[in-house]
Amino acid sequence: MSRRIKRTISPGDRAKERTKGGPKGGPKSASKGGSKSGAGHRSRKPEDRKASDRPSSHRASGKPPRFAEPRREPRKRPEPVAATPKAANELPLPTKVQTVVVTADEDNMRVDRFLEARFPGLSFSHIQRIVRKGELRVNGRRADSKDRLEEGQSVRIPPLRLDAPKTVGVLSEAQTKTLQALKEMTLYEDDDVLVLNKPAGLAVQGGSGMTRHVDQMLEVMRDAKGQKPRLVHRIDRETSGCLLIAKTRFAASHLTGAFRHRSARKIYWALVAGVPKPKQGRISTYLAKEENEEDTIMRIAEHGDEGASHAVTYYAVVEASATKLAWVSLKPVTGRTHQLRAHMAHIDHAIVGDPKYFNKENWQLPGGLQNRLHLLARRIVIPHPRGGVIDVSAPLPPHMQQSWNLLGLEADRFDPIENAPEE
C-alpha cells in the first residue's frame, strides 16, 4: 500500500458493512459515496445544494441541516506525522520552579490534563499531589486539578519528577487475570497505541472509594523500562466503548495534541426518549458545572457566565421505534464534561437510563429494556503518531444489544452522522 492506514473492524461489523460493485465488480464502501444506503438518502449535485442546507442550531428556523448524502470526494487522510522525539509544546521536566503561559490551543483545558499534555509521563498521583499541596499556581493563586485554564494565564510549575520505574517481575495470579481482562477488551493494539472497548460500569480513573479502574489495571502492562501506558482521553463510567491509550511517552504527546487540535473524530450511539425533530441537527449551547452536596451536573448556561464553555454537538436519527424511542448517532465537536447527555436532555430527548439528566415526568421504560445508560462511544478516528490513521469501532454492549433486539433496530443501518461537518 502507498499509504499506511491503521483500521480495525470487528468481525461482526465487517459482515455488516454495506458495499456496492465498482467498475470491475469490486466492492466499494457505501460511506465513501454511492447512490443508495440503508438511510434512504438521495444524491445531489453540488450546484443543486442550497444555502439552507448548511448546518444551523437546533432551534434555528428554516430548513434543517441535511448531511446524510455521502460525499463525492473521499475524506482526506491526515499527512503522516514525523516521528520526532518531542512535540513542539512538550517541555523537559523542570528541575526548578518555572512559569509557563497558557496557549490558545490549551484554552479551557483542565489543570491536570494541561500537565499531562505538557509533561507526558507524569503519574496521576504526582499531579494530584502537587496541586493539592498548592505547589502549582495559576496567576499566583492556588488551583484545583479540575479548574479550567484560560489563554494567557501564567502557570507556576514546581520541580517535577517521573515516578521511579517499578520493577517488572512475574505477575501474580490476580495481575494475570487483570492482564487477560485487558486483552479481552482490546480492539486495537500496536507498539504505540492501545484502544480498549471499556465496559459500562468500569471507571476510567480512580476517585473516592474507587478500587478498580482502567488506570489502575494498566499497571500490569508496564514495559521492560517500567513505563506504564497512559490515558489520553476519558469517557464516563457508565458509557461503554472506545477508550484510547498511549503505550509510550512519544505517543501520549502526539495523541493529546490531536485531541487538543480537534483532529480526532468521535462518534457515539445513544437510545433517546422520543424522536428528535428535525431528524438531523446541530446543538450549540454554553455549559457550566453546577455542584451541590449530592451531585455534580452540567447545566445550560449563558455566554459570559462564570465557568461557562461553548459546546457543539451534531446529531442524526438513524432509526426510530414508533414515537417512543429513537436510535441517535452523535458527533461532538467539543469535548465538554457530560456534553452529549446534557445536550440531548436540553432538546427534550434525554438518553435512556441516564441517572443525572433523564427528567421526563410520567415516562415509562418499555418492558424488557434495562434501566442503564444507553450511550456507546462507537467509533474513534485519529491520526497515528507515526503516520496513517487509526479507525476503530466498538460493538454494542450487552444491555444496548438487548434493547436493539427488543425494539427491532438494525445495527447495520447507514449512519448519516458520518457526513456531518467537523466543526
pLDDT in tens, 348-388: 999 999 999 998 888 888 888 999 999 999 999 999 999 99
Mean pLDDT of 397-422: 92
Predicted local confidence at residue 283, as pLDDT: 97
**pLDDT band at residue 105 under the 50/70/90 scheme:** confident
168-213, pLDDT tens digit by residue? Answer: 567 888 989 999 999 999 999 999 999 999 999 999 987 766 778 9
Predicted local confidence at residue 60, as pLDDT: 42
Residues with catalytic roles: 236
Q: Are 411 and 104 in contact (CB under 8 A)?
A: no
Mean pLDDT of 38-63: 43
- Structural domains in the chain, CATH included, are 1-17+29-71+81-86+167-423 (3.30.2350.10), 98-157 (3.10.290.10)
Residue 74 has pLDDT above 70, yes or no: no
- Residues 6 or more apart whose CB falls under 8 angstroms from that of 170 comprise none
Q: Are 395 and 42 in contact (CB under 8 A)?
A: no
> What's the CA gap between 162 and 158, in Å, rounded?
13
Query: Poorest-confidence range of 21-30, 186-195, 304-313, 378-387?
Result: 21-30
> What's the CA gap between 358 and 368, in Å, rounded?
19
- What is the average pLDDT value for the chain, to the nearest integer? 80
Query: Poorest-confidence range of 85-89, 199-203, 292-296, 326-330?
Result: 85-89
Residue 237 has pLDDT above 50, yes or no: yes
107-156, pLDDT tens digit by residue? Answer: 888 888 888 778 766 777 788 888 888 888 999 999 888 888 888 999 99
Predicted local confidence at residue 169, as pLDDT: 62
Predicted local confidence at residue 278, as pLDDT: 95
Is omega for the bond preceding 11 within 30 degrees of 0, making it cis? no
Residue 274 has pLDDT above 50, yes or no: yes
> What's the CA gap between 331 and 344, in Å, rounded?
12
Q: What is the pTM of this model?
A: 0.68
Predicted local confidence at residue 171, as pLDDT: 80
